[in-house]
Amino acid sequence: MILLIGSQKGGPGKTTVAVNLAVEYARQGKDVCLVDADQQRSAARWHADREEQGHQPPIVCLEKLGNIHGTLVELAGRYEVVIVDVAGKDSREMRTAMTAADKMIVVVRPSQFDLDTLSHMADVIEQAMDINPGLEVRGLIAQAPSNPSVTERTDAREYLADYPQITALETVLYERKAYRDVVGEGLGVVEWSNPKAKAEIQELAAEVQA
Ligand SMILES: Nc1ncnc2c1ncn2[C@@H]1O[C@H](COP(=O)(O)OP(=O)(O)O)[C@@H](O)[C@H]1O
Ligand SMILES: [Mg+2]
């Protein structure tokens, strides 16, 4: 399975989702390859920390820029799960990955600035599906405020419903310090002490795979 994590905005949590899913799938015993296709190299840096600390299970990480279609197809023949992290813009890496991917997760914060990017993303998805009709695109609301009186999460879900190309995931990732704390350790939240963050990532991993 090639799983692409994309969006046209920096900061919603793409790399956070990519590395945390990589850890969860690896812990399930799957052969995981993480592909960092963002020149900012956040996933690669996280991976270097993980290697340095010697955390188990080890995860393979590759860096590749430009046209990554061929690389992803080749990796999919060797690994059970290939997770691709791209930059937060309409990039060559994102577009070429979309022509190879089985699934794509579009990560958005429940803010108008993020939601405004969905219309362009929906167009890009349609173009990719002309070439890769099997591409399955799911929308993930991330960094949702955990305060129950804030309705941004449900508003964002309604907004996503306007785009038939993007099916909203049931799982929502809330804003939790644990997601920031694990980064420098080269860990995932499923290896950390916050049970709520752990449960969210496990729910996401199951929902994406289903
Ligand atoms: N659910 C979350 N709760 C709290 N902080 C988060 C969450 N998701 C991401 N972050 C933090 O937000 C920042 C941007 O996340 P990142 O994954 O790098 O975004 P992107 O890859 O989309 O640019 C990082 O500092 C990250 O630790
Ligand atoms: Mg990133």
Of 38, 172, 180, 190, the one to substitute when testing ligand 1's pocket (max ligand atoms within 8 A of C-beta) is 180
Going by CA atoms, what residue is nearest to atom 24 of ligand 1?
Answer: 180
Q: Which domain covers residue 184, as residue numbers?
A: 2-209
Q: How many domains does the chain have?
A: 1
8 Cβ closer than 6 Å to some ligand 1 atom:
no
Instruction: Answer yes or no: are the C-beta atoms of 171 and 204 closer than 8 Å.
Output: yes
Q: Which atom of ligand 1 is nearest to the CA of 144?
A: 1
Residue the block writes with tokens 């916050």: 194
pLDDT in tens, 50-98: 999 999 999 999 999 999 999 999 999 999 999 999 999 999 999 999 9
173 Cβ closer than 6 Å to some ligand 1 atom:
yes
Q: Which of 19, 5, 9, 3 is nearest to 182 (CA)?
A: 19
Structure tokens at 205: 């991993």
Going by CA atoms, what residue is nearest to atom 17 of ligand 1?
Answer: 13
Distance 133 CA to ligand 1 centre (A): 30
pLDDT in tens, 138-193: 999 999 998 877 788 888 888 899 999 999 999 999 999 999 999 999 999 999 99
143: alpha, beta or left? (left if phi > 0; alpha if psi -120 to 50): left
pLDDT in tens, 5-25: 999 999 999 999 999 999 999
Write the CA distances from 34 to 5, 20, 58, integer angstroms. 11, 11, 11
13 Cβ closer than 6 Å to some ligand 1 atom:
yes
179 Cβ closer than 6 Å to some ligand 1 atom:
yes
Predicted local confidence at residue 139, as pLDDT: 97
Torsion (CA) 201, 194, 182, 65 in degrees, nearest 10:
10
pLDDT in tens, 99-131: 999 999 999 999 999 999 999 999 999 999 999
Distance 87 CA to ligand 2 centre (A): 6
Distance 86 CA to ligand 2 centre (A): 7
Question: Strand pairing partners for 167?
Answer: 138
Q: What is the CATH number of the domain that holds 169?
A: 3.40.50.300
Instruction: Answer yes or no: are the C-beta atoms of 107 and 7 closer than 8 Å.
Output: yes
Residue the block writes with tokens 């599906």: 129
Separation CA 158–CA 154 (nearest Å): 6
